[in-house]
Amino acid sequence: MIISISDALKVVGKFELEERTNKERFYKLVYKGVTILATSIPKGRGPLHVTNQFRKQLYLTREQLSNAVDCPFKKKHWFDSLRDLGVLPEEDD
């Protein structure tokens, strides 16, 4: 599965990742002051040739990435998945 660069930008926007732009666009998830993960998206248009790498850096399955692009997979679902994988700590009550 290959997604477009615009779809990748849609996903990082939906997940509200922090952006830093240089030669490439870098994104990171900062949770309670700690950087949890990072990814980058090249500038330009067309297909994202590193879709698998992008997907793995966000800890997404192929199905989750497809659903994130198509809308039913939201930030809350992603955070729940990251907690299930042990990447994010459980929420404090």
Q: In what order do the strands lie in the sheet with 18-21?
A: 18-21, 24-31, 34-42
Q: How far apart are CA 85 and CA 56, in angstroms?
A: 13
State residue 92's pLDDT score: 59
**How large a percentage of the chain has pLDDT more than 70?**
98
Listed by start position, the domains of the chain span: 5-84
State residue 85's pLDDT score: 94
State residue 24's pLDDT score: 80
Residues of the chain with pLDDT under 70: 92-93
State residue 91's pLDDT score: 76
State residue 12's pLDDT score: 95
Phi and psi at 5, nearest 5°, equal -60, -40
